[in-house]
Amino acid sequence: MIEEPFAPLPRDFYARPVEKVSIDLLGRYIVRYVDRQRLVLRIVETEAYLGVEDRASHAWAGRRTERTASLYQPPGHAYVYFIYGMHYCLNAVIGNGVGAAVLIRAGAPVEGHETLRLNRRCQTPPRPGDLAGGPGKLCQALAIDRQLDRHSLDTEPLLMTQGEPVGESEVARGPRIGVAYAGEAASWPLRFALRGHPEVSRPRL
């Protein structure tokens, strides 16, 4: 049967190896309700963070602090954190007990273009990547902050849905962004994107 694009992804969607989930999330929708308006982005870029064994992960070496407690929730919950004094980043938790998660790095506008643009305070018309071409931009466009940390991603006001799934042949991969400090893990190819999509963040894959 054909799944409706706005049917929520079930919790067990996330209960798989983090790399698989990172790839499978490409093409899916992020659906966000704000003041009864529905905003929709199609996910075009993700990154996998493996947890305890991954020096780039907030759960590296088994770290478990007040902030990173969210990484140890059951599958399909949100981990939203504040970074660089001004940005938020959204993750989907895998729930495997070692702190694995998928960072949502970029999305393409599907619904609510005008509100997305206003949230981002950018000129009209926006250029590709302006609205949600980066993890901080994506959260700003969707008005996501720490209030949504620990939110279950199969219910309003923030959910991930079936969207428009893609085949693995459409997926490009490469090293993750902004983790140069992570030693060997910095070169692991755990960044994934829809091949050639204009809304993917820089540098392009």
Partner DNA sequence: CGGAAGATCCACT
Partner DNA sequence: GTGGATCTTCCGA
Residues near DNA (CB under 7 A) are: 47, 49, 56-59, 63, 65-68, 71, 79, 81-87, 89, 91, 101, 103, 120, 122, 134-138, 176-179, 181, 201
Euclidean distance between CA atoms 167 and 65, whole angstroms: 37
Whole-number minimum distance, CB 77 to DNA, in Å? Answer: 13
Smaller CB separation from DNA, 58 or 197: 58
Smaller CB separation from DNA, 28 or 176: 176
DSSP annotation of 137 reads: H
Whole-number minimum distance, CB 199 to DNA, in Å? Answer: 12
Smaller CB separation from DNA, 13 or 49: 49
Evaluate whether 10 touches 154 at the Cβ level (below 8 Å).
yes
Whole-number minimum distance, CB 4 to DNA, in Å? Answer: 29
Max intra-chain CA distance, the chain:
46
Whole-number minimum distance, CB 184 to DNA, in Å? Answer: 15
Smaller CB separation from DNA, 131 or 166: 131
Euclidean distance between CA atoms 37 and 153, whole angstroms: 18
Q: How many CA atoms lie within 13 A of 109 on its CB side?
A: 20
What lies within 8 Å, CB to CB, of 158 at 6+ separation is 30, 31, 32, 33, 78, 142, 144, 148, 151
Whole-number minimum distance, CB 46 to DNA, in Å? Answer: 10
Smaller CB separation from DNA, 5 or 177: 177
CA 107 from chain center: how many Å? 8
